[in-house]
Amino acid sequence: MNIHFTELKAPDPSIINAFNRWENDPRLVPLTRPNKSNKEIEGNKLITIDDLTDRLKNHPTYLIYSDDKLVGEMNYMVDPPHLYKKEPDTAWIGITIGEEEGRGKGIGYHAIQYLEQQIEQHGLKRIELGVFEFNTQAQKLYQKLGYNEIGRIPEFTYWNQRLWSDIRMEKRFDS
């Protein structure tokens, strides 16, 4: 398996199609975006080329490939307002392994390491992320990579007939 990453500079229709497929996949929606009800999980969201082009202005985004097939994306933003700890020079990260054949093969592990390198090269000293309480597999991955829990936001997202907390985690780079 050959894994590689490419920074997304200008989205094309095939990229937009993949992002929309992942954004609206009912198996992924509960893992990738907060929802307050089952209706929200089932609702479709449309990402346009203009939407993604605007996002890229302040949201570096990298495409994840396995054996030259696009399987996911990862991104970060600097000092967004939703940080749990409002510390300057903090990257908030997001990752989606959108294609089934990309899951459970260690691709997420390598992807996050790559994203961390990009963030550190840009001089940021801290990463924060949110992971839903029910997503124990992701929690284990983040812990393995050195992330520590810093807090919880209760009743943050709906899945499987109940509301779950958002677990906030951080990782600091050595100076």
State the average pLDDT for the chain: 92
Mean pLDDT of 115-128: 95
Residue 9: pLDDT over 70: yes
Collapse the DSSP code of 151 into the 3-class scheme (helix H, G, I; strand E, B; otherwise coil) and give the result: strand
pLDDT in tens, 86-119: 999 999 999 999 998 888 899 999 999 999 999 9
Residue 66: CB atoms within 10 Å: 20
Which pair of structure tokens corresponds to residue 163? Answer: 């509301």
CA dihedral (43, 53, 64, 95) positive or negative: negative
Residue 175: pLDDT over 60: no
> Beta-strand (E) ranges in 51-161?
61-66, 69-78, 90-97, 126-132, 148-159
**pTM beyond 0.85:** yes
pLDDT in tens, 158-173: 989 999 999 999 999 8
Collapse the DSSP code of 17 into the 3-class scheme (helix H, G, I; strand E, B; otherwise coil) and give the result: helix
Q: Which of 83, 97, 90, 86 is nearest to 166 (CA)?
A: 83
Separation of alpha carbons 148 and 162, rounded Å: 25
pLDDT score of 38: 82
| Domain membership of residue 98 as a residue range | 3-172
pLDDT in tens, 63-77: 999 999 999 999 999
Which pair of structure tokens corresponds to residue 67? Answer: 């054996």
Which pair of structure tokens corresponds to residue 164? Answer: 């779950």
Strand order of the β-sheet with 90-97 is: 3-7, 61-66, 69-78, 90-97, 126-132, 162-172, 148-159
pLDDT in tens, 37-64: 888 887 778 898 999 999 999 899 999 9
Please say whether the beta carbons of 76 and 90 come within 8 A: no
The CATH code of the domain that includes 28 is 3.40.630.30
Tell me what percent of the residues of the chain surpass a pLDDT of 70: 99
Please state the domain count of the chain: 1
